[in-house]
């Protein structure tokens, strides 16, 4: 993508996806458009060979149905873009696209959902202090927080020149987990400004809400995504992680808005495929992914399993 490919005075949101993220993308985009108080432009990136022509056509239909200005751009796969467990090469597009899109913009990981007020982030980007490269959310400390620095799932890019990342990525150990997360915290450790944690509320680390404040951006980081859970189990899952209810509510509203449209049928197909889109592995933390896959296969017949897990979570 050339930096001058499009000319818009709208606030730019950048997303990137592959074949396994199409349904999550759709729910996010519909929610972005329905809750935004500003005019937005959506730039969608994907790696060559990672988004089928059929899925690209569906993405195009979703964007057109939402009546949002947009651009879909394909990028070549770089040899340094490694994959490990649930992290895919697509995540590195946050570096690639920001290099070419030098204007201020907001990057959101696909496994996020937004609520009204999320677009205040554009104001935060505009008033970031001189010298700041990216605006990030504060880390919400808690007993489950097991990472250092900031999370790179929500990035408010300013117009400051980008840091050189290719050589830094090449020098990293081959098997480092979450290389892009490490790189951002290394390259931009002293070039960030912070906004409150509700603009990147990490669901996998902080399941409990305070009952009054709904986060502006909920980030379902980690291998488990709400779209992996068969909807027969949403009630029981509320006891395990109540923040998933926010995603399911957004999904319900998105589906209601599609009633009577030609897009509804293909959307339901993608919703079904999404149940089986998680990457299964045998490494650390693999058990939960396998459990959700079993629930997806069993459907309603698996309710005793999710009930038992919910009962255990209450203790």
Give 285-310 pLDDT, tens digit per residue. 688 999 999 999 999 999 999 999 99
Strand arrangement, sheet containing 112-114: 112-114, 217-219, 201-202
Class of domain 1-315: alpha beta
Q: Would you give the distance in Å from CA 308 to the centre of its chain?
A: 29
Does the pTM surpass 0.75? The reply is yes
Rounded-to-integer distance, Cα 35 and Cα 59, Å: 19
% of the chain with per-residue pLDDT over 70: 90
Q: Which residues, at least 6 apart from 8, have a Cβ–Cβ distance to it below 8 Å?
A: 41, 69
**How far is Cα 103 from Cα 158, in angstroms, rounded to an integer?**
7
- Are 97 and 45 contacting, i.e. CB atoms less than 8 angstroms apart? yes
CA R_g for the chain = 19
pLDDT value of residue 1 = 44
Q: What is the pLDDT of residues 188-228, one digit of tens each?
A: 989 999 999 999 999 876 656 665 578 999 999 888 999 99
CB atoms within 10 A of CB 128: 21
What pairs with residue 52 in β-bridges? none
In the numeric block, which tokens belong to residue 131?
């010298």
Per-residue DSSP letter, 57: H
List all residues 6 or more positions away from 289 whose beta carbon is below 8 Å from its beta carbon: 86, 223, 224, 228, 278, 279, 280, 281
3-state DSSP percent of the chain in helix, strand and coil, to 5: 45, 15, 45
High-pLDDT (> 90) share of the chain, %: 74
Look at residue 204 in the predicted model and tell me its pLDDT.
75
List, in sequence order, every residue forming a beta bridge with 13; answer none if it has no partner.
42, 106
Nearest alpha-carbon partner for 284 in 222, 241, 213:
222
| Residues 191, 187: Cα–Cα separation, whole Å | 8
Domain boundaries, the chain: 1-315
pLDDT tens for 109-164 read 999 999 999 999 999 999 999 999 999 999 876 555 556 789 999 999 999 999 99
d(CA 268, CA 255) in angstroms, rounded, equals 9
The pair of three-digit structure tokens given for residue 210, joined into one six-digit string = 């305070």
Residue 53 has phi, psi (to 5 degrees) of -60, -35
Encoding tokens for residue 82? Answer: 């490694």
Question: Could you tell me the CA-to-CA distances from 237 to 174, 226, 232, 244, 307 in Å, in that order?
Answer: 36, 10, 10, 8, 8
Question: What residue ranges in the chain does DSSP mark as E strands?
Answer: 11-16, 40-47, 69-75, 105-108, 112-114, 134-137, 154-157, 192-195, 201-202, 217-219
pLDDT at 174: 62
């Amino acid at each position: 993508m050339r930096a001058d490919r499009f000319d818009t005075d709208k606030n730019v949101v950048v997303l990137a996806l592959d074949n396994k993220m199409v349904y999550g993308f759709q729910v996010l985009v519909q929610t972005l458009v329905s809750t935004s108080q500003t005019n937005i432009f959506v730039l969608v990136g994907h790696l060559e060979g990672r988004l089928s022509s059929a899925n690209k056509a569906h993405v195009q239909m979703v964007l057109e149905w939402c009546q949002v200005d947009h651009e879909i751009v394909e990028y070549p796969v770089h040899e340094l873009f490694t994959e490990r467990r649930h992290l895919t090469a697509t995540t590195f597009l946050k570096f690639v696209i920001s290099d070419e899109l030098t204007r201020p913009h907001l990057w959101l990981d696909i496994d996020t959902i937004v609520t009204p007020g999320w677009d205040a982030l554009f104001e935060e980007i505009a008033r970031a202090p001189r010298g700041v490269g990216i605006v990030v959310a504060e880390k919400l400390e808690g007993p489950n927080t097991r990472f250092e620095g900031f999370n790179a799932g929500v990035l408010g890019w300013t117009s400051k020149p980008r840091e050189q990342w290719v050589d830094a990525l090449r020098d990293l150990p081959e098997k480092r987990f979450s290389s892009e997360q490490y790189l951002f915290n290394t390259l931009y450790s002293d070039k960030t400004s912070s906004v409150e944690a509700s603009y990147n509320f990490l669901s996998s680390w902080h399941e409990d809400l305070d009952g009054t404040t709904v986060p502006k951006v909920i980030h379902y980081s980690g291998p488990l995504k709400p779209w992996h859970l068969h909807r027969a189990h949403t009630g029981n899952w509320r006891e395990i992680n109540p923040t998933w209810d926010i995603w399911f509510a957004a999904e319900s509203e998105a589906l209601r808005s599609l009633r009577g449209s030609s897009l509804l049928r293909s959307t339901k197909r993608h919703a079904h495929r999404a149940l089986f889109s998680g990457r299964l592995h045998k490494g650390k933390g693999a058990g939960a992914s396998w459990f959700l896959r079993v629930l997806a296969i069993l459907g309603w017949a698996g309710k005793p399993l999710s009930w038992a897990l919910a009962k255990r979570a209450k203790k």
